[in-house]
Structure 1
Amino acid sequence: MNHVFTILNGGVLLWLIIGVFLKRRHPLHMMWMTAGFALDTALLLFIELDRKATGQLFAPMGPWLVVHIVIATVLLFWYPMLIFSGGKVSAGKPKGFHKKIAFTFFVLRFLLWVTAVLAMEAKAG
């Protein structure tokens, strides 16, 4: 089942990357990215329900899993910032802030996928 989560995680990341290429088509970009954020949040909720992840917080964890959890937690706060700043851009405000936090978001989101793979490999090995 771990590989399924990794594939889904990568699929959501790919969905979000495709959304970046839709940025010139603002209404489609906004809907696509919002759906991607919802998918990502749903995946996190699914992992929590399936694995009871928060109940394992006090169990021994490898360093990659700790980093993965920290990044996932930070990203939960990043989504509202992106949606809010994207709404400002669609209302005609400057794009600079939205671009900066979007770039940081994608770096973090890529690292989330990488740490998921590394944590799974460390657990298997």
Structure 2
Amino acid sequence: QEEAFDYSYYTGASTGDSPYDVTHWAGPEGYICPSDVVYATPKRAANVEGKWRVIVNDVHYYSQTARLETCLFPEAACRALAPCYQSHCTQKAVYHRLLSFDPCDPYKGLFIDIYKLPSACSCHIPA
């Protein structure tokens, strides 16, 4: 269901060009920070140390699926909040442990490595 949502679903009745236009924050209900959700089985990724690894997926019916959610408009003003709050959408991440392989060191074999993946789009209101 999440993947079917488009920009108009999140912005509702917003008709102004500016994210601070009154129609942007006074419209009907919807998500405060629009995002894109995919369920992925990554094949390659950089670990938390920045080193590229091959992630074991689709090998003998073994798969590792992760839910990835990325902000459509990071740092944009949060929908449905008045401009006086100076809010903005922030990308959040979570650490995943995935069975991996180092292509530069094949004798290392398979091992669990840690990856930082996008998990949510959150509205931040400065204190």
- TM-score, normalised relative to structure 2: 0.27
Q: Which has the higher helix share?
A: 1
Q: Which has the higher strand share?
A: 2
Larger-gyration structure (1/2):
2
- TM-score, normalised relative to structure 1: 0.27
